[in-house]
Amino acid sequence: MKVNKIVFATGNPNKLKEINSAVNSFEIIGLKDLGITEEIPETGDTLMKNALQKAKYVYNKTGLDCFSDDTGLEIEALNYRPGVYSAMYAGPDCNTENNIRKVLQELEESTNRKAQFKTVIALILNGKEYFFEGVVSGVILKERSGKGGFGYDPIFKPVGYEESFAVMTIDQKNEISHRGLAVKKLINFLARS
């Protein structure tokens, strides 16, 4: 079966842009294209549960094939925090700036800067559930570097590279990133479906 149109259950325009630049065999539409503007509940305590919760919400509402992702930054010296709580790490005042500041403060004394980004994608296709995972290892820099990307990109440098994700182009990041890897698995699967 050829999948022509599939919903990515996200309201994040950066993610939609990243994925659309990696995919050309089918059209990926976002929640805004469907007029879905409400915040979708994300109450799970794992990436997998959250990804499935969001995909199910959209599937139940629209009946369309769809997928959703959930991503976490896992920092070894912080007991793999912020993990599933990456978006709200700085608490009530959470935003990108405050989340990054908190991570840098917590790691100030730490010589272990090892971290990984993990993405889990949940796909609902013809009513069945599938999961795809992507992981990229790296280190947390001592200070921000670069103006591109989003979220924790300015402080994450992948292993084997000299620069942070925020210095890379979207294509360079897609090639090696957690979400890029998970998306490749999703695309391969869809191509065989």
Strand partners, 70: 120
Least CB distance to ligand IMP at residue 96 (A): 6
Which one of 31-39, 101-109, 134-142, 149-157 is the stretch in contact with ligand IMP (CB under 6 A)? 149-157
Which one is catalytic: 33, 45, 65, 70? 70
68 counts as binding ligand IMP under rule CB under 6 A? no
Q: Work out whether 71 is an interface residue with ligand IMP (CB under 6 A).
A: yes
Cβ-based nearer residue to ligand IMP, 59 or 152: 152
Radius of gyration for the alpha carbons in the chain, expressed in angstroms and rounded: 17
Among the candidate windows 25-33, 59-67, 103-111, 143-151, which touches ligand IMP by CB under 6 A?
143-151
Taking CB under 6 A as the criterion, which residues in 171-190 touch ligand IMP?
Answer: 177, 179
CA atoms of 185 and 47, how far apart (whole Å)? 17
Number of neighbouring beta carbons within 10 Å of residue 58? 23
Q: Specify whether 93 is catalytic.
A: no
**Which one among 8, 19, 30, 70 touches ligand IMP, defined by CB under 6 A?**
70
Contact 37, 58 (CB under 8 A): no
Please state at what angle helix 178-192 crosses helix 13-22, rounded to 10 degrees: 50
- Nearer to ligand IMP by Cβ, of 65 and 149: the residue is 149
Smallest distance from the beta carbon of 149 to ligand IMP, in angstroms? 6
Nearest CB to ligand IMP, comparing residues 2 and 182: 182
Rounded CA separation 186/124 (Å): 11
Whether 180 and 174 have beta carbons less than 8 Å apart is answered as yes
The tokens for 162 are: 């000299």
Separation CA 171–CA 29 (nearest Å)? 19
**Residue the block writes with tokens 């991503």:** 71
The catalytic residue positions are 70
Residues near ligand IMP, by CB under 6 A? 69-71, 73, 86-87, 149-153, 165, 177, 179
